[in-house]
Amino acid sequence: MAKVLVVTSGKGGVGKTTTTAALGAALAQMGERVVVVDFDVGLRNLDLIMGAERRVVFDFINVAQGVAKLSQALIRDKRLENLWLLPASQTRDKDALTDEGVRSIIDDLRTRFDWVLCDSPAGIERGAMLAMRYADEAVIVTNPEVSSVRDSDRIIGMLDSKTVKAERGERVEKHVLITRYDPARAARGEMLSIDDILEILATPLLGIIPESQDVLRASNVGSPVTLNNAACAPACAYTDAARRLMGETVAMMVPTERKGLINRLLGRRAA
Amino acid sequence: MMDLRRLFGSRTASAPVARERLQILLAHERGLRGQPDLLGLLRSEILAVVSRHVVLDPDKVIVRMERGKTVSTLEVDIEVPNNFERSRAVAAT
């Protein structure tokens, strides 16, 4: 049974696209058939993070409007054969995305894949609403920072009221994923702690992704962080999160960067 | 003593402030959900009731909510035309 999972947050810049790519690759590495779908019409970036920006021919809206077949728009990952990308359109016409178009494409993707990961745009407008509309599960990406937590709370409210599942009286299974976490700063009381965030949002935790240089390094070269350097702290944290999505019980821990002696002496931040 | 506390970071412990601000804010915002447009509803119902007796310009009905620390006030401002008695007669017929 295919699962449709939306990666959302309300606030921009918290790591939705990074998370979609990393979780998609991690699930594919476990042998699942995965498609990552970019919903950010006009500002697509998942193709760039996945390293497929030069292979985009057709996009979501071409398929929705019948210009191209779904199989023509899907881009197969060059590293993982069971990982695919459906890019967003770069049109400036936000209304090009319709509820009916999204429904028919999601229905079709459900028959072809085990996981449909929808990368939501920021905000609470049409694109974000359509990205979550047909979701069975949601990953709410949150930074340990007041504005991000507030927006996550708002998005959680929408997942509970504006999705098809919610309208049917069912529940979208929600998980919070905390990104850019710095355990040292949290310990010093400079950053909201994991417990603070979970208590406020009252939603179960999927994982904790530490602040890390490896995330930028992976995006620079167009590779999901879980593929670029599977041993680095954020990749381990994303892989653990993907295993939890698969129903495994994985002990929750905060992976930390190994700080070299030289860096420590120079007082350089690991982030 | 102060310097020692600074050294151990009590000065930089801003997370408890963040937590408290969020808890207060979200308690308020969650309360508003599900009844998204209380003021709009009040406005249209007040307009309907008053219009039974007086002919009104719908744009001249203003409903405003002020939230204070201890008390909140609901302000209803309805502008009625000068020939209000006559318009009343019209409305009655």
- Could you give the 3-state DSSP secondary structure of residue B76? strand
The pair phi, psi for residue A90, each rounded to 5°, is -95, 15
Cβ neighbours of A137 (radius 10 Å): 20
- Could you give the 3-state DSSP secondary structure of residue B64? strand
* pTM across the whole model: 0.80
If one compares A258 and A149, the residue with the highest pLDDT of the two is A149
Over residues A63-68, mean pLDDT: 94
Over residues A42-48, mean pLDDT: 95
pLDDT of A256 strictly over 80: no
pLDDT class for A203, splitting at 50, 70, 90? very high
Over residues A181-203, mean pLDDT: 93
β-bridge partners, A181: A210
pLDDT of A265 strictly over 70: no
Report the residue of chain A nearest B13, measured CA to CA: A189
Tell me the pLDDT tens digit for each residue of B13-67: 899 999 999 999 998 888 777 655 677 788 888 888 888 888 888 888 888 877 7
**A153 touching B (Cβ < 8 Å):** yes
The pLDDT mean for chain A works out to 93
The confidence score (pLDDT) of residue A131 equals 97
| CB-CB under 8 Å, A190 with B14 | yes
**A264 touching B (Cβ < 8 Å):** no
Nearest chain B Cα distance for residue A150, angstroms: 7
pLDDT of A233 strictly over 50: yes
The confidence score (pLDDT) of residue B34 equals 60
Q: Which of B7, B12, B21, B22 to mutate to test the interface with A (most CBs of A within 10 A)?
A: B22
Beta carbons of A140 and A14 less than 8 angstroms apart: no
If one compares A61 and B80, the residue with the highest pLDDT of the two is A61
Residue whose C-alpha is closest to residue A4's, from A156, A111, A126, A124: A111
If one compares A76 and B42, the residue with the highest pLDDT of the two is A76
Of A145, A150, A189, which has the smallest distance from its Cβ to B9's Cβ? A189
The rounded percent of chain A whose pLDDT value lies above 70 is 94
**A154 touching B (Cβ < 8 Å):** yes
The confidence score (pLDDT) of residue A80 equals 97
Over residues A168-178, mean pLDDT: 96
pLDDT of A236 strictly over 80: yes
* Cβ-Cβ contacts under 8 Å for B42 (sequence gap 6 or more): B63, B74, B76
The amino acid present at A127, given as its one-letter code, is G
Rounded to two decimals, the ipTM of the complex is 0.81
**Cβ contacts of B25 on chain A, cutoff 8 Å:** 150
**A159 touching B (Cβ < 8 Å):** no
Residue whose C-alpha is closest to residue A3's, from A137, A132, A102, A130: A137
Nearest chain A Cα distance for residue B35, angstroms: 12
pLDDT of A78 strictly over 80: yes
The confidence score (pLDDT) of residue A270 equals 44
Over residues A36-40, mean pLDDT: 97
Tell me the pLDDT tens digit for each residue of A104-149: 999 999 999 999 999 999 999 999 999 999 999 999 999 999 999 9
| CB-CB under 8 Å, A193 with B15 | yes
